[in-house]
Amino acid sequence: MPDHAPHASTAKEIAALLSDAPDDEARALIKRYSDDPRKQVQRAVASAQKRVERDAAEHDRVRGMYELQRELGGDGLILGVDEVGRGSIAGPLTVCAVALPYDPMIWGINDSKQLTPARREVLAAKIADAALAIGTCHIEPAVIDAVGMAQALRAAMSGAIKDAGVEPDCVLIDGNPMHVHPKERTLVKGDARIAAIAAASIVAKVTRDHLMVAYDDEYPEYHLAECKGYASAEHIAAIRAHGLTPIHRFSFCGNFLETPSLF
């Protein structure tokens, strides 16, 4: 089989090739230069080998998420469902439902909590391009206060499934049984184990974060762009200084104010 890996002569050139090469090309370069005695080349070979092994492990991880999705949900249309904002003291509870095809796989997909904000944005765009359906539902703070989190979560999941606009063959939900769909199956830590649930967690997080950044323009005293409505020290201090706004969950804020009041 012909060797198509590019040739280089100086140690610096070889190191640059190894650093920049995609995995298939890097493997050929590693094989070619593994016996090169120059220290700079050996360091570059070792670094490239670690990168190739890391990328292979990551691909295996993602493939495993799609394989478990098929094992639990079958080959039909599967909706993955996940929420964000359950523990927030301001802003909505947000649930997304996402149907992903098995091809193309979205490399890098994971529980949204394991990803940087920048990586979530990139993956959310890829999910939007690949998804067969996406549904979203927000439950506002006043409703959460009125009915409680358990009922709000069921309503949000039902709403997201309906908003997806498809008739799923299986609904895979992160966590414990919710009884929101006759074809639901649940899996604890499903957002890190099932591709469609991970996709839902990413889309939900990105969608809600954008909303909280927009709220920051309306209520700049509360640091919402940074804390996303969670109980950071700055957020709590702002509540104590300025009171509560209409986007706060009064039932979550009793420890911060003796008498909660509207902004």
Residue-wise pLDDT for 57-72, tens only, equals 999 999 999 999 999 9
Write down the pLDDT at residue 140: 97
Per-residue confidence band for 258, with pLDDT thresholds at 50, 70 and 90: low
- Of 11 and 126, which is predicted with more confidence? 126
Q: Are residues 27 and 121 in the same domain?
A: no
Tell me which of 9-23, 165-179, 191-205 is least confident. Answer: 9-23
Q: Is residue 123 part of a domain?
A: yes
Per residue in 173-182, pLDDT (tens digit) is 999 999 999 9
Write down the pLDDT at residue 2: 44
Q: Are residues 81 and 53 in the same domain?
A: no
Residue 221: name the closest of 233, 237, 203, 202 by CA.
237
Q: Are residues 183 and 116 in the same domain?
A: yes
Q: Are residues 43 and 93 in the same domain?
A: no
- Provide the number of structural domains found in the chain: 2
For residues 171 and 83, is the Cβ–Cβ distance under 8 A? Answer: no
Write down the pLDDT at residue 8: 58
Q: Are residues 104 and 19 in the same domain?
A: no
Q: Are residues 66 and 101 in the same domain?
A: no
Q: Are residues 63 and 96 in the same domain?
A: no
Residue 5 predicted with pLDDT over 60: no
Q: Is residue 116 part of a domain?
A: yes
Q: Is residue 210 part of a domain?
A: no
Q: Are residues 157 and 65 in the same domain?
A: no
Per residue in 234-251, pLDDT (tens digit) is 999 999 999 999 999 999
Average pLDDT, rounded, for the chain = 91
Residue 6 predicted with pLDDT over 90: no
Q: Are residues 103 and 163 in the same domain?
A: yes
Domain end call among 19, 37, 70: 70
**Full domain range(s) for residue 61:** 11-70
Q: Is residue 51 part of a domain?
A: yes
Across the range 116-128, mean pLDDT stands at: 97
Domain end call among 46, 70, 94: 70
Per residue in 137-156, pLDDT (tens digit) is 999 999 999 999 999 999 99
Q: Is residue 26 part of a domain?
A: yes
Across the range 29-41, mean pLDDT stands at: 88
Residue 190 sits in a domain of what CATH number? 3.30.420.10
Per-residue confidence band for 190, with pLDDT thresholds at 50, 70 and 90: very high
Residue 93: name the closest of 142, 60, 162, 126 by CA.
142
Q: Is residue 225 part of a domain?
A: no
What's the full length of the chain, in residues? Answer: 263
> Using CA atoms, how far apart are residues 187 and 156, in angstroms rounded to an integer?
18
Q: Is residue 250 part of a domain?
A: no
Q: Are residues 138 and 50 in the same domain?
A: no
Q: Are residues 87 and 189 in the same domain?
A: yes
- pTM, 2 dp: 0.84
Domain end call among 148, 172, 202: 202
Write down the pLDDT at residue 7: 56
Per-residue confidence band for 262, with pLDDT thresholds at 50, 70 and 90: very low
Q: Is residue 229 part of a domain?
A: no
Per residue in 85-104, pLDDT (tens digit) is 999 999 999 999 999 999 99
Write down the pLDDT at residue 241: 92
Q: Are residues 114 and 151 in the same domain?
A: yes
Across the range 195-223, mean pLDDT stands at: 97
